């Protein structure tokens, strides 16, 4: 296996505002759903435990892929706010995290990424072939987990993963399309990110006995948080530092994958300059990031993307107004802030 | 997209016994389940139809991956023999074929194969990245299809795909292990092939209202047919011709993937000769196939592997004795023969 280079072991504290990060972590991990998150993690581990025999180091390495627990936290907090967490929620939270992990493992193959969360990716350690099959295995275990709940959960999960995969496929087939529109961009991130957070909101509410109306609002909350989060993540790829992010950055431009600020910039620049910028992106190479950042500055495109993320964050917050006040709702509100202010 | 070279467009008739092939095709396609197979195909197509917009050529190319329809045929014939085909069977047959197709698309990435069924693979035409995501999409659509039946179908399907993926992963992690035992080999093919045919037998019986006892026998039938089929397929990779098989052959040895005859041979050869053969396999290169075939001849290992496949085929046939006599049972019996006599 590839060893972890010192350059990527700076630790999670590097470059972050510790108060903010710890505050969120505490809120998520030690708030009203701390024991529920722990139970979802036990289910995640127990599900894969039978594979420890033949694939011990692989299963062990999965812990490096477990980061923010955003999806299980959203599902469990929504459940808590909508009437209370039930055993089905723990299983579904584990399944959602497993689906997310499956997409990460495959994403690393697609992005040829070697580092994630300060650790080598499966791809770096075991190669693409093992990564493909491990991702498949995580997908199927997630579906099997869901099937232990009931048929409706399977249907909702099946629908959402259909959307996730279509979004991911669209992203790959749109690579190199330097005429990508904002609408196309939103179609991609709707699938690859927002579909799953939307599903977490819906499942959390439905299995807590919420009405279809409340479940729709929680689904919309999850979708907006997911979109905002992805816009922020894409900004990070352009403007962040690898040390703080704990993963390879700048890959979007390198792979000619246009994200919101770049699309906005290309639309705002005079035609001649936009054509030049497209040529630069097409040519790639050293210094491309800095050149693109200059152009983004000129058209205020980072500001624009931040504003779009803030609008989504606000709209997510509004959906929460139907919920009773309490800790769970407060944390869901905090998540709308965090999703756009995150630095990793 | 890669063009199809004339070398691989010899057509399906090349090198086969047309009477046998057409007889089987007729039996499968125009026998008592002809209209059911057609309905399962319509469901398969309808499921992917919404993707024709963004991914038209991809969805279109899937027809090259639809070959023998062994899995839907097994499921529908079992259903017919156990009491009659119901709408759930059509959906489940489409889902099983979709799972199988997903594994083929990913297998082509793992095997770096450029030709399948006389046509270029997705990998050859669109690259590995698109192939990975297309495979994922087929998996999730299959699960979603299953969820339109009921929770039990999802559970059975989830269990079987867990086994399929574990078998595939084991196969990849065992590559280059030239000490692989027969038990290891059977563990791999149990997962990668027999789990799904077993599932087809079980689902066919259960959703026709068969008793658990009959369903267990049909599952065992499917498993044995799958194992026999895979042994025959692995033999084909060693002894067949690419023209007849319509796909790249010799990949197992090239990838240091030991199959039954080679394992038997290595166990039977005197230690010194076995060590030499392992060195040859490790070194790879031109002429390896011919050298291995010489060694297999010496230890009668092709004969041995054929015998093992025949035993499984007989054992599958015995499981059918609990069924009422009729066309469906007769074809299921014929499938046990065909699984080991197939040339492609």
Q: What is the pLDDT of residues A180-233, one digit of tens each?
A: 999 999 999 999 999 999 999 999 999 999 999 999 999 999 999 999 999 999
The three-class DSSP label of residue A75 is: helix
Closest CA to B332 of B201, B208, B232, B215: B201
Q: Which conformational region is residue A248 in: left (phi greater than 0), alpha (psi within -120 to 50 degrees), or beta? A: beta
Q: How confident is the model at residue A246 (pLDDT cuts 50, 70, 90)?
A: low
CB contact under 8 A, A144 and B161: yes
- Specify the pLDDT at position B251: 79
Encode pLDDT of B237-291 as tens digits: 898 776 666 666 777 888 899 999 999 999 999 999 999 999 999 998 888 888 9
Question: Which residues of B fall within a CB distance of 8 Å from A170?
Answer: 54
Question: Which residues of A fall within a CB distance of 8 Å from B161?
Answer: 140, 143-144
The chain A residue lying nearest B149, using CA atoms, is A151
- Specify the pLDDT at position B246: 66
Given CB atoms, is B177 within the 8 Å cutoff of chain A? no
Q: How confident is the model at residue B294 (pLDDT cuts 50, 70, 90)?
A: very high
The DSSP code for B18 is H
Question: Which residues of A fall within a CB distance of 8 Å from B135?
Answer: 132, 136
For an interface test with A, the pick among B48, B166, B171, B256 (most A C-beta atoms closer than 10 Å) comes out as: B166
Given CB atoms, is A151 within the 8 Å cutoff of chain B? yes
Question: Which residues of A fall within a CB distance of 8 Å from B106?
Answer: 132-133, 136
- Specify the pLDDT at position B13: 33
CB contact under 8 A, B109 and A132: yes
Which single residue is written with the structure tokens 């498993």? Answer: B223
Return the beta strands (E) in A93-207 as ranges: 115-116, 119-120
Determine the Cα angle at B76 with ends B70 and B81, to 5°.
Answer: 120
Which residue ranges form the domains of chain A, and what is each CATH number?
17-341 (1.10.600.10)
Residues contacting residue B166 through CB under 8 Å, at least 6 positions apart: A51, A54, A137, B191
Given CB atoms, is A53 within the 8 Å cutoff of chain B? no
Q: Give the separation between CA A99 and CA A313, rounded to whole angstroms.
A: 24
Q: Which conformational region is residue B112 in: left (phi greater than 0), alpha (psi within -120 to 50 degrees), or beta? A: left
Neighbours of B25 (CB within 10 A): 14
- Residues A81-100 have a mean pLDDT of 97
Nearest to B154 among A133, A147, A169 (CB): A147
Q: What is the ipTM of this complex?
A: 0.87
**Measured between CA atoms, how close is B127 to chain A, in angstroms?**
11
Is A191 in contact with A170 (CB distance < 8 Å)? yes
Q: How confident is the model at residue A341 (pLDDT cuts 50, 70, 90)?
A: confident
The three-class DSSP label of residue A115 is: strand
- To the nearest whole number, what is the mean pLDDT of chain B? 88
- Specify the pLDDT at position A13: 32
- Residues A148-171 have a mean pLDDT of 96
Of all residues in chain A, the percent with pLDDT exceeding 90 is: 72
Half-sphere exposure of B168 (CA within 13 A, CB side): 31
Encode pLDDT of B140-160 as tens digits: 999 999 999 999 999 999 999
- Specify the pLDDT at position A14: 35
Determine the Cα angle at A305 with ends A299 and A311, to 5°.
Answer: 135
- To the nearest whole number, what is the mean pLDDT of chain A? 88
Given CB atoms, is A147 within the 8 Å cutoff of chain B? yes
Q: Which conformational region is residue B36 in: left (phi greater than 0), alpha (psi within -120 to 50 degrees), or beta? A: alpha
Of all residues in chain B, the percent with pLDDT exceeding 90 is: 72
Whether residue A255 is predicted with pLDDT greater than 90 in this model: the reply is: no
The helix (H) or strand (E) run that includes residue B116 is strand B115-116
- Specify the pLDDT at position B24: 60
Residues contacting residue B210 through CB under 8 Å, at least 6 positions apart: B82, B83, B218
- Residues B204-220 have a mean pLDDT of 98
- Residues A53-73 have a mean pLDDT of 88
CB contact under 8 A, B166 and A51: yes
Given CB atoms, is B322 within the 8 Å cutoff of chain A? no
3-state secondary structure chain A: CCCCCHHHCCCCCCCCCHHHHHHHHHHHHHCCCHHHHHHHHHHHHHHHHHHHHHHHHHHHHHHHHCCCCHHHHHHHHHHHHHCCCCHHHHHHHHHHHHHHHHHHHHHHHHHCCCEECCEECHHHHHCHHHHHHHHHHHHHHHHHHHHCCCHHHHHHHHHHHHHHHHHHHHHHHCCCCCCCCHHHHHHHHHHHHHHHHHHHHHHHHHCCCCCHHHHHHHHHHHHHHHHHHHHHHHHHHHHCCHHHHCCCCCHHHHCCCCCHHHHHHHHHCCHHHHHHHHHHHHHCCCCHHHHHHHHHHHHCHHHHHHHHHHHHHHHHHHHHHHCCCCHHHHHHHHHHHHHHHCCC
- Specify the pLDDT at position B224: 98
């Amino acid at each position: 296996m590839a060893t972890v280079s010192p350059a990527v072991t700076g630790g999670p504290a590097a470059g972050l505002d510790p108060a903010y990060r710890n505050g969120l972590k505490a809120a998520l991990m030690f708030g009203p759903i701390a024991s529920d998150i722990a139970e979802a993690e036990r289910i995640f581990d127990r599900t894969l435990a039978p594979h420890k025999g033949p694939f011990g180091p692989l299963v062990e390495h999965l812990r490096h892929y477990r980061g923010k627990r955003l999806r299980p936290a959203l599902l469990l907090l929504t459940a808590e706010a909508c009437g209370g967490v039930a055993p089905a929620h723990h299983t579904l939270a584990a399944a959602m995290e497993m689906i997310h992990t499956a997409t990460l493992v495959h994403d690393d193959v697609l992005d040829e990424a070697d580092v994630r969360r300060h650790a080598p990716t499966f791809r770096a350690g075991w190669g693409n072939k093992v990564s493909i099959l491990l991702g498949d295995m995580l997908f199927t275990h997630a579906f099997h987990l869901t099937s232990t709940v009931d048929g409706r959960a399977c249907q909702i999960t099946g629908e959402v993963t259909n959307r996730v995969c279509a979004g991911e496929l669209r992203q790959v087939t749109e690579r190199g399309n330097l005429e990508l529109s904002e609408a196309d961009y939103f179609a991609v991130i709707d699938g690859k990110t927002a579909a799953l957070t939307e599903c977490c909101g819906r499942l959390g509410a439905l299995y807590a006995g919420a009405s279809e109306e409340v479940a729709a609002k929680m689904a919309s909350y999850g979708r907006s948080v997911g979109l905002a989060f992805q816009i922020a993540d894409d900004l990070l790829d352009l403007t962040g530092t690898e040390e703080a992010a704990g993963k390879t950055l700048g890959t979007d431009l390198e792979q000619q994958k246009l994200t919101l600020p770049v699309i906005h910039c290309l639309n705002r620049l005079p035609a001649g300059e936009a054509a030049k910028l497209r040529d630069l992106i097409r040519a790639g190479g050293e210094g491309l990031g800095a050149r693109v950042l200059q152009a983004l500055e000129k058209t205020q495109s980072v500001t624009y993307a931040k504003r779009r993320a803030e609008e989504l964050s606000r709209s997510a917050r509004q959906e929460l107004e139907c919920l009773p006040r309490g800790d769970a709702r407060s944390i869901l509100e905090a998540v709308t802030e965090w999703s756009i202010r995150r630095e990793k």
